[in-house]
C-alpha cells in the first residue's frame, strides 16, 4: 500500500495559514488588537460558558412557568363564586357551598 503524500512548499504552507487567518478575521474570531475587550478562551472555557448559559436559560424559563402557574391559580375561582369549595367524594368532584 504505497500512498503518495503531497509535499507542500513553504510558500504554499504560508498561503494556507494566511487564508485561514484572514477567514477568522472576517468572522470576528480573532483578537487582533491589544485593547480588544474580548478575551481568548480555551475550548474548555467556551464549553463551560455554553453550559452555564443554557443552565441560566433553563432556570429562567422554569421560574417564569412557575410564576405563571401561581398567577393563574390566584385568578381562578370555582363557578365564579367564592362561597364554597370543591372536594372529591368517591372520585367525584363536588362543589360544596357554605
Q: Can you give the pLDDT of all 98 residues of the chain as single tens digits?
A: 566 888 889 999 999 999 998 898 888 777 666 676 777 778 888 899 999 999 999 988 888 877 777 666 655 454 555 688 888 988 888 888 87
- The verdict on residue 74 lying in a domain is yes
Exposure letters 9-21 (e unless 16+ CB within 10 A, then b): eeeeeeeeeeeee
| Tally of structural domains, the chain | 1
Q: What is the pLDDT of residue 28?
A: 76
- The verdict on residue 1 lying in a domain is no
Q: Which domain holds residue 43?
A: 10-97
Nine cell digits for residue 72: 393563574
Alpha helices in the chain (DSSP H): 10-27, 43-75
56 near 48, Cβ under 8 Å?
no
- The verdict on residue 4 lying in a domain is no
Amino acid at each position: 500500500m504505497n500512498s503518495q503524500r503531497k509535499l507542500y512548499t513553504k510558500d504554499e504552507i504560508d498561503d494556507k495559514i494566511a487564508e485561514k487567518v484572514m477567514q477568522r478575521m472576517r468572522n470576528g474570531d480573532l483578537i487582533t488588537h491589544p485593547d480588544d475587550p474580548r478575551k481568548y478562551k480555551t475550548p474548555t472555557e467556551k464549553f463551560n460558558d455554553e453550559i452555564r448559559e443554557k443552565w441560566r436559560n433553563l432556570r429562567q424559563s422554569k421560574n417564569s412557568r412557575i410564576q405563571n402557574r401561581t398567577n393563574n391559580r390566584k385568578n381562578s375561582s370555582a363557578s365564579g363564586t367564592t362561597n364554597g369549595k370543591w372536594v372529591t367524594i368517591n372520585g367525584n368532584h363536588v362543589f360544596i357551598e357554605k
